[in-house]
Structure 1
Amino acid sequence: MPKSLLIISRQSPWSGPSAREALDIGLAGGAFDLPLGMLFLDDGVLQLLPAQRASQLQQKDLTANLQALEMFGVEDLYACNTSLAERGMSPSALSVETLQVLRDHEIAALIDRYDQVITI
């Protein structure tokens, strides 16, 4: 039986390649039917904003990758409520509809449910 994997994405979409790498791991894992979840934490929640202008920073928009996660079987998507609130973001205004917003104490329980955790 394959081990489950939680990817914790903590980087903003424009701070370097980390955000893209986290999504690429998620897409690859989903393609191989790996039980997988993604948690957007700290500046990682900024990846969830719609209508990003990545081209102005000479980067590629990550919105299509986020939308493709579900097609690749990655349906367990989570965001930290505290991280959203600290950045003035409303869960209803995010680009991912199937996102579950978790409180801090729920995040610890989430991490415990997975066999392996990668923080990027």
Structure 2
Amino acid sequence: MAKSMLVISRQSPWSGPTAREALDIALAGGAFDLELAVLFLDDGVFQLAAEQQPAALEQKNLTANLQALPMFGVDQLFACQSSLAQRGIDAATLTLAVDILEGAALRALINRFDHVVTL
């Protein structure tokens, strides 16, 4: 049985249900006493951007789900520096406290977990 799981969220919050599904997997993982973490990569970093208006696209706001992660034992949150930079997102404006990683640190993070789920 796995002892740790990393969920890599690569989709923007408005591109369909995938971003919500990644968060649901992370939240559900809390029920299994796993070491849990979430890495926001590629367009997934848009989930951390401030002042989103999902109602304009008839989407649900993911902010409440994101803020609930620590209550479910998911207190290791990470974002990719180059993903943020490529999308013009300043790390100082993110809605959650995340550790910003790049290069070898990203690879080490991924290798540290027994299971890696990418959505």
Q: How many equivalent residue pairs?
A: 119
Give the distance between the partners of 2:85 and 2:40, measured in 1 at CA: 13
Match of 1:5 in 2: 5
Give the distance between the partners of 2:46 and 2:86, measured in 1 at CA: 11
State the one-letter code of the partner of 1:15: S
Match of 1:80 in 2: 80
Give the distance between the partners of 1:101 and 1:69, measured in 2 at CA: 17
Match of 1:103 in 2: 102
**TM-score of the two chains, using structure 2 as the length reference:** 0.96
Match of 2:21 in 1: 21
For the aligned residues, what is the CA RMSD? 1.1
Match of 2:116 in 1: 117
1:50–1:63 contact (8 Å) kept in structure 2? no
**TM-score of the two chains, using structure 1 as the length reference:** 0.95
Structure 2 residues not aligned, in runs of 5+: none
What SS does the corresponding residue of 1:77 show, helix, strand or coil? strand
**Runs of 4 or more off by more than 2 Å in structure 1?**
none
2:36–2:76 contact (8 Å) kept in structure 1? yes
